[in-house]
Amino acid sequence: MNIAPMSKAGAWFDLARGGNFPSVLSNVLAALALSTPVAATWPDAWTGLLAAGGGVLAYAGGTTLNDVFDAGFDQRHRPDRAIPSGMISRTLAGWVGAIQLVAGATLLLLLPAAAGLVLGLVACILLYDWLHKRWTGSVVLMAGCRMLLGLALASVPGHAFTPALVSWVILLGGYIVVLSLLARREYLPGAPKIKLGRQVGRLLAFIPFVDALALLSVGAWPVAIACALAIPLGRLAQRLSASN
């Protein structure tokens, strides 16, 4: 939970959920590795940079727009957040979030990932931002965002929807659904918000564990180790986010 007053940089980091960037990067690496004929193959530098940039920017745009949609709710329940606290205006956050999302999609298209999957990812992100406070089933959309990112990367030339990739996408989706259902309990009357918040934070940081397991199942030890390292990096990023 953020400590007020936060810095301007900390406010933008909070909007982008920067503490979760390591898990997004781990998902990107796992998707690229699991969709190659030899799963232990590392992506080339250009593909890796475009994929990482696209994934992180799409994620940052989605979470920033999430707070734009939730400004009214956060005013009542999370007044310390960047928008209700007045650190960043809702209008500015909306423009920045939209630019981030478009930039992320553009980088993915430059790979080039399949346009239909990239546009599906953008649509899924926007639908989640719009519906998640009013529809419990939106947890499927939350999972769909990470799943579509993985599928989009698997559509890049030289990659394919391998059995390992498909199995990982399904496992990752299930993990996100469980995590999202737990997160929704934070705002139930009488819920132990601080305890649940910490549990959700740990589960978010451990998303790369799913990636590492999938990679280990196909013998891709070096890539699995790289993904596993995203777990402590994620916990560190979360602490940095909380300290801003």
pLDDT in the model for residue 199: 87
Nearest Cα neighbor of 223 from 99, 42, 44 is 42
For residue 46, being part of any structural domain is answered with yes
Q: How far is CA 171 from CA 72, 177, 184, in A?
A: 34, 10, 20
For residue 2, being part of any structural domain is answered with no
Give the span between the Cα atoms of 134 and 21, in whole angstroms. 26
pLDDT in the model for residue 110: 98
Number of domains within the chain:
1
What's 174's domain CATH number? 1.10.600
Q: Render pLDDT for 50-99 as a digit per residue (tens, 0 to 9).
A: 999 999 999 999 999 999 999 998 898 889 889 999 999 999 999 999 99
Q: How many CB atoms lie within 10 A of CB 30?
A: 32
Range of 122's domain? 8-243
pTM over 0.85: yes
Lowest-pLDDT range, 16-20, 40-44, 102-106?
40-44
Q: Render pLDDT for 195-235 as a digit per residue (tens, 0 to 9).
A: 887 888 899 999 999 999 999 999 999 999 999 999 999 99
For residue 70, being part of any structural domain is answered with yes
DSSP string, 133-199: TT-TTHHHHHHHHHHHHHHHHHTSTT----HHHHHHHHHHHHHHHHHHHHHHGGGSTT--HHHHHHH
Task: Verify cis geometry, omega within 30 degrees of 0, for the bond prior to 5.
Answer: yes
pLDDT in the model for residue 192: 79
Please provide the distance, in angstroms rounded to a whole number, between the alpha carbons at the two ends of the chain: 10
pLDDT in the model for residue 243: 62
Task: Find the helix packing angle between 45-69 and 21-34, rounded to 10°.
Answer: 140
Instruction: Categorize the per-residue pLDDT at 39 as very low, low, confident or very high, splitting at 50, 70 and 90.
Output: low
For residue 1, being part of any structural domain is answered with no
- Mean of pLDDT values over 111-127: 98
For residue 214, being part of any structural domain is answered with yes
Residues in the chain: 244
Instruction: Categorize the per-residue pLDDT at 4 as very low, low, confident or very high, splitting at 50, 70 and 90.
Output: very low
Backbone angles phi, psi at 204, to 5 degrees: -65, -45
Q: Render pLDDT for 46-56 as a digit per residue (tens, 0 to 9).
A: 999 999 999 99
The encoded tokens of residue 145 equal: 């965002």
For residue 182, being part of any structural domain is answered with yes
Regarding predicted confidence, which is higher, 198 or 127? 127
Q: How many CB atoms lie within 10 A of CB 221?
A: 12
Q: Render pLDDT for 152-209 as a digit per residue (tens, 0 to 9).
A: 999 999 999 999 999 999 999 999 999 999 988 877 676 677 788 788 889 999 999 9
Nearest Cα neighbor of 19 from 209, 210, 211, 244 is 244
Backbone angles phi, psi at 201, to 5 degrees: -60, -45
Q: Render pLDDT for 129-159 as a digit per residue (tens, 0 to 9).
A: 999 988 999 999 999 999 999 999 999 999 9
pLDDT > 70? residue 2: no
For residue 30, being part of any structural domain is answered with yes
Regarding predicted confidence, which is higher, 37 or 211? 211
pLDDT in the model for residue 59: 98
